[in-house]
């Protein structure tokens, strides 16, 4: 009988995630992100903040699922059954189009099976707690639970919903409050769109140097990307759930689908799902005509395109800073040299203060008894 690794409710749900028509297609960009996360886990000692970012429907949750499988099967294969090495939560939309940090803490406490937040036990006992905890109290309870359970990874999927706020300053404060989950021996992995990277890297300087950025990029119209895109389309062509007119139907539309799906496998999957439904309604196979008829409207395509380009531009601007120009290096080095010289001269010219001694001739006031 194999060793049992204890998992949380969120992890159980994450492991059930799978694409509709094929198995997980380990395409090039997907594999790079997965291998980078595995390499990170191999040398990670905790206290790290990781951002897995990319466009919507790029497959970030599937990358996270692969990473969790790696942790359970490799890293924590011999973990004690009383521990809970990985927990997580999905930040679904709440009021005013964002997720409150308190809600995330509540979800994490439930995933850690805290008695007052484990919904399974509460429903079985027909009990509803009447005590309303404040956000600091919930954070303190969560920190204690993670320490007792020896949790080393906290996952937060759809993290872009945590930082939706009208004020940029408040948006940065929300991310900063989540930083409290990072401690010695424990790392936080935020999974979400480009808004997460912008909030972390732009609004808090002391956090900008901390995170590890893993970018699940889209495919573009380059030779290498087109070659990989063709391979992805061949995988979909062989699906038993998609009945095409012939094996080359998708391949003949490769460049059109690359443009209309923004080089993302998730959007391609939804597009083929609509084509499948239309073909079944018409009582026919999936033809090129049906695939063309399911293309997005110009407005839909432009909104997604603008969002992706804005996110990529932000990520390039905040991460790919490039080398320091030579003129800047010289001025910087010169300033440092001047400062050091000034310090040395100040030390040489500074007089040495004598040790304090009592003046024997000092007259003390008389004391009347």
SS3 sequence of 27-64: CHHHHHHHHHHHHHHHHCCECCEEEEECCCCCCHHHHH
pLDDT-based confidence at 132, cuts 50/70/90? low
Q: What is the pLDDT of residues 62-116, one digit of tens each?
A: 999 999 999 999 999 888 888 999 999 887 765 555 566 777 888 888 888 887 7
Question: Phi-psi category of 327—alpha, beta or left, where left has phi over 0 and alpha has psi -120 to 50?
Answer: alpha
Taking the model in full, what pTM does it have?
0.79
Report, as an integer, the average pLDDT of 172-183.
Answer: 76
Domain segments of the chain: what residues? 9-215, 223-319
The CATH superfamily label for domain 9-215 reads: P-loop containing nucleotide triphosphate hydrolases (3.40.50.300)
List the one residue out of 40, 42, 43 whose CA is nearest residue 32. 40
pLDDT-based confidence at 242, cuts 50/70/90? very high
Cα dihedral 119, 122, 126, 130 sign: negative
Rounded to whole angstroms, the Cα distance separating 171 from 97 reads 13
Rounded to whole angstroms, the Cα distance separating 141 from 130 reads 17
Res. 215: pLDDT tops 60: yes
């Amino acid at each position: 009988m194999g060793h049992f690794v204890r998992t949380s409710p969120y992890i159980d749900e994450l492991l059930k995630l799978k694409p509709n028509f094929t198995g997980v297609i380990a395409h090039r960009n997907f594999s790079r992100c997965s291998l980078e996360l595995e390499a990170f886990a191999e040398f990670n000692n905790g206290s790290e903040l990781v951002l897995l970012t990319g466009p919507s429907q790029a497959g970030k949750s599937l990358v996270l699922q692969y990473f969790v499988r790696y942790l359970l099967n490799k890293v924590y294969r011999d973990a004690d059954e009383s521990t809970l090495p990985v927990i997580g939560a999905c930040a679904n939309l709440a009021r005013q189009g964002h997720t409150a940090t308190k809600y995330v803490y509540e979800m994490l406490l439930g995933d850690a099976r805290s008695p007052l937040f484990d919904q399974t036990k509460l429903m079985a006992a027909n009990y509803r707690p009447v005590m309303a905890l404040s956000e600091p109290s919930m954070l303190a309870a969560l920190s204690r639970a993670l320490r007792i359970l020896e949790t080393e990874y906290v996952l937060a999927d759809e993290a872009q919903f945590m930082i939706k706020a009208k004020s940029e300053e408040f948006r940065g404060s929300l991310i900063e409050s989540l930083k409290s989950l990072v401690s010695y021996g424990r790392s936080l992995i935020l999974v979400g769109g480009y808004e997460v990277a912008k909030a972390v890297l732009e609004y808090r300087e002391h956090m900008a140097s901390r995170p590890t950025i893993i970018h699940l990029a889209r495919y573009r119209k380059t030779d290498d990307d087109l070659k990989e895109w063709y391979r992805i389309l061949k995988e979909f062509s062989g699906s038993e759930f998609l009945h095409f007119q012939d094996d080359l139907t998708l391949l003949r539309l490769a460049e059109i689908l690359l443009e209309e799906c923004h080089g993302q496998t998730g959007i391609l999957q939804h597009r083929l799902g609509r084509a499948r439904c239309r073909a079944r309604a018409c009582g026919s196979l999936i033809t090129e005509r049906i695939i063309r008829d399911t293309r997005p409207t110009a407005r839909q395509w432009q909104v997604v395109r603008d969002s992706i380009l804005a996110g990529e531009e932000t990520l390039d601007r905040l991460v790919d800073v490039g080398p320091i120009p030579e003129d800047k290096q010289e001025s910087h080095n010169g300033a440092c040299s001047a400062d050091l010289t000034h310090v040395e001269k100040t030390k040489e010219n500074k007089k040495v203060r004598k040790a304090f001694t009592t003046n024997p001739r000092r007259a003390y006031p008389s004391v009347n008894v």
